[in-house]
Amino acid sequence: MNYTQELVEIYDLLFDRYGPQHWWPGETRDEIIIGAILTQNTNWKNVEKAIENLKIKNLLTLVNITKTDMPEITQCIRPSGYYNQKALRLQEIAQYFMGSDVQSFSTRTTAEMRTELLALKGIGPETADSILLYAFEKPVFVIDTYTKRIFARSGIFPGNISYDEAQNFFMQNLQENAELFNEFHALLVRHAKECCQKNPHCIKCVLLKKCKFNNYDLNQEQ
DNA sequence: GCCCAGGAGCCCG
DNA sequence: CGGGCTCATGGG
């Protein structure tokens, strides 16, 4: 079986189990961009609290973030952790989008947009790709620790794969389709949270038959 | 109390 | 290029 068939089969197994995930969990483009920054190495539940605080103060838009004093932003996003860093970077990033205005930003090629995002402090590869895929619907596959974990355990990825190598693997073996990339990444996050945690619950895993890392016997004792 | 969570930047060899 | 350190809260 080739990698394309392998990936499609994994996708189908996840989709059959979990159904459509309706990502990104946010309403507007600005909210997606803000959420992508806030969720860095942070539990999404904590991000939800920060987003709610911002919403109450009408700070869930990039333009309003540029107009607000740092301490107020910091206080709102406190639950999301790293709040000093994130507040500073959030404002810089908001200023960037306001300065270049989102209209002209979207007219560039995806590669150009990605390069510009990566040049901003606080936006690394995963955040850049999340913004491209979920805020601008560009066909870019997002890699995160969950994706690496699931595919490393399955035996498809080596343990030390780089971000770019992992991304190339998906993009070279799947149709270039933003809807597919959107749903696939969301399903991987769902699966990692619910089943393929650091201590995996292999007993309920729909990918069990395709996975080298089999913790099934261990789980049965519980 | 300890571990972990949808990373990124910086510094160092 | 890759590893180690820092940033920080809240839930299990």
Q: Architecture of A3-21+142-220 per CATH?
A: Orthogonal Bundle (1.10)
Q: Distance in angstroms, CA of A40 to C1' of B4?
A: 13
Find the helix or strand (DSSP H, E) in which A76 lies. helix A70-77
Question: Is the shortest CB-to-strand distance from A81 to strand C under 7 Å?
Answer: yes
What is the tens place of the pLDDT at every residue in A115-133?
Answer: 999 999 999 999 999 999 9
Question: Whose structure tokens read 């605080």?
Answer: A53
CATH class of A29-135: mainly alpha
> Cβ atoms within 10 A of the Cβ of A208, count?
16
Question: Whose structure tokens read 């913004």?
Answer: A131
Which nucleotide is closest to A148, CA to C1'? B6
Supply A124's token pair.
């690394």
Regarding pTM above 0.85, the answer is yes
Q: Which of residues 149-188 of A touch strand B (CB under 7 A)?
A: none
Closest CA to A105 of A71, A132, A70, A145: A132
| Mean pLDDT calculated for residue range A163-170 | 98
Confirm whether A3-21+142-220 and A29-135 share one CATH topology: no
DSSP-derived letter for residue A203 is: G
What is the tens place of the pLDDT at every residue in A68-87?
Answer: 999 999 999 999 999 999 99
Supply A81's token pair.
């952790």
Q: Distance in angstroms, CA of A106 to C1' of B7?
A: 24
Query: Cα A55 to chain center, whole Å?
Result: 21
DSSP-derived letter for residue A84 is: H
Question: Is the shortest CB-to-strand distance from A125 to strand B under 7 Å?
Answer: yes
Q: Distance in angstroms, CA of A83 to C1' of B11?
A: 23
Average pLDDT, chain A: 94
Confidence of residue A213 (pLDDT cuts 50, 70, 90): confident
> Cβ atoms within 10 A of the Cβ of A195, count?
20
Confidence of residue A170 (pLDDT cuts 50, 70, 90): very high
Supply A57's token pair.
């103060």
Closest CA to A114 of A100, A101, A125, A103: A125
The domain limits of chain A are: 3-21+142-220, 29-135
Angle at A200 between CA A202 and CA A192, to 5 degrees: 105
Confidence of residue A105 (pLDDT cuts 50, 70, 90): confident
Has residue A219 got a pLDDT over 60? no
Q: Distance in angstroms, CA of A18 to C1' of B8?
A: 31
